Amino acid sequence: MLGRAGRRTNVALMTVLCAAFASGGLAFGIGTVDGARLVAVVHGALGLGLLLLVPWKSAIIRRGMAGGGPARGRKAGVALGLLLLLSMATGVLHAVSGYRGIAGVSALAVHVGAAAMALPFLLMHARGRRQRLRRSDLTRRTLLRAGAFGVGSLAAYATLAATMSLLELPGRQRRPTGSYEIGSGDPGVMPVTQWFTDAVPVVSRASWQVSLNLRPIPYSDLAGGIDTVRAVLDCTGGWYAEQEWRGVALSRLLTQVPAGMRSIDVISSTGYRRRLPLADLDQLLLATHAAGQPLSDGHGGPVRLVAPGRRGFWWVKWVQRIEVTAEPWWLQPPFPLH
């Protein structure tokens, strides 16, 4: 039987894990700097807080292994533990040491991937180990403990931040979204990033056209555009770059939007697509150039979407079709699926 202290540790772990997953998902989607700062601190503190709970959990595991604990799902428990340790280690590595890709995979990508893989194991492991909350759990002591955990986690976060500035580690210079600056003003240095499985297509600038509500707009019209915007492309892979983007503001091309329309569906020649709220229209740019240079194939040439304030996965590359529709923008997976 699991003692009262053990049960409390498990409930605490589960609570913190769920909060870490939720805040991590939020951090992945948030583009605006103000929102991101709060979410990043909460997510970082929760992650370090999980590490603080490791000694207590180790004690439970040791007792469980020595007998008494449920044998069912033990393998899932081991897999869960390893994936979570990998996720926490790569999370700290990314937060401290800068954007580094090993064979095209960044520490942050491993952090997110390991966490996503841990989820099913968490469900498997928790099944049959349900920890019932009891009335006697809700004491002043529990509250004090939760408070102490919060303070401890934030202190760990602050200590890490102070250490980074003291040792001048790369982590002190992150954007509030957690990303590192690479290639601002110099698009050639910017990483070429695909969300998941997309590949850079072979295209011809000369014959390229964008179909806007079925109206074809030739590349030359867009490349002759004089609208510019300085905006930050901030990839969830952990890097960002600020460029001066040039092309044609989408609002110039969409002067009349029929009543009842609610979103703008932007579709790549590869099939990758994102649906943006119509309210974004005034911000959007169909860009053909960055820093005065035509966009390279990898960076979305001939034409890509520039969506200031949104994370990189909204900046659809190789834009081929745009449709204004009556569907709400949220009628799509929260993150692209390919």
Ligand X SMILES: Nc1nc2c(c(=O)[nH]1)N[C@H]1C(S)=C(S)[C@@H](COP(=O)(O)O)O[C@H]1N2
Residues within the interface to ligand X (CB under 6 A): 190-195, 198, 233, 235, 268, 270, 272, 298-300, 312-313, 315-318
Residue nearest to ligand X (CB): 312
Site for Mo ion in 188-217 (CB under 5 A): 193
Q: Quote the least distance from Cβ 3 to Mo ion, whole Å.
A: 46
Partner touching 308 among ligand X, Mo ion, none, CB below 5 to 8 Å by kind: none
Output the CA angle 314-319-321, nearest 5 degrees: 110
Q: Considering beta carbons, is residue 191 or 302 the nearer one to ligand X?
A: 191
A 10 A CB-CB count for 115 gives 23
- What H or E segment, with its residue span, contains residue 180? strand 180-181
Q: Considering beta carbons, is residue 146 or 189 the nearer one to ligand X?
A: 189
CA distances from 283 to 224, 277, 308 (A): 19, 11, 7
Residue count at the site for Mo ion (CB under 5 A)?
A: 4
CA 328/CA 184 separation, integer angstroms:
34
Q: Quote the least distance from Cβ 177 to ligand X, whole Å.
A: 12
Q: Considering beta carbons, is residue 24 or 300 the nearer one to ligand X?
A: 300
Partner touching 194 among Mo ion, ligand X, none, CB below 5 to 8 Å by kind: ligand X
Partner touching 302 among ligand X, Mo ion, none, CB below 5 to 8 Å by kind: none
Q: Quote the least distance from Cβ 117 to Mo ion, whole Å.
A: 19
Q: Quote the least distance from Cβ 318 to ligand X, whole Å.
A: 5
Partner touching 329 among ligand X, Mo ion, none, CB below 5 to 8 Å by kind: none
CA 294/CA 300 separation, integer angstroms:
10
Q: Does 225 bind Mo ion (CB under 5 A)?
A: no
Q: Quote the least distance from Cβ 151 to Mo ion, whole Å.
A: 35
Q: Does 285 bind Mo ion (CB under 5 A)?
A: no
Q: Does 24 bind Mo ion (CB under 5 A)?
A: no
Q: How do strand 273-277 and strand 263-268 relate by DSSP bridges?
A: antiparallel
Q: Quote the least distance from Cβ 317 to ligand X, whole Å.
A: 4
Handedness of CA 308, 264, 318, 338 (dihedral sign): positive
CA 159/CA 150 separation, integer angstroms:
14
Q: Considering beta carbons, is residue 187 or 225 the nearer one to Mo ion?
A: 187
Partner touching 319 among Mo ion, ligand X, none, CB below 5 to 8 Å by kind: none
Angle between helices 4-29 and 107-126 (to 10 degrees): 140
CA 176/CA 96 separation, integer angstroms:
13
Q: Considering beta carbons, is residue 69 or 301 the nearer one to ligand X?
A: 301
Phi and psi torsions of 255, nearest 5°: -85, -25
CA 32/CA 283 separation, integer angstroms:
14
Q: Does 312 bind Mo ion (CB under 5 A)?
A: yes
Per the listing, tokens 């019209």 go with 221
Per the DSSP assignment, residues forming a β-bridge with 322 are 212, 266
Q: Does 235 bind Mo ion (CB under 5 A)?
A: yes
Residue nearest to Mo ion (CB): 235
The full 3-state SS of 181-196, as one line of letters, equals: ECCCCCHHHCCCCCCC
Q: Quote the least distance from Cβ 294 to Mo ion, whole Å.
A: 22
Handedness of CA 33, 292, 254, 264 (dihedral sign): negative
Partner touching 191 among Mo ion, ligand X, none, CB below 5 to 8 Å by kind: ligand X
CB 290 within 8 A of CB 301: no
Contacts with Mo ion by CB under 5 A lie at: 193, 235-236, 312
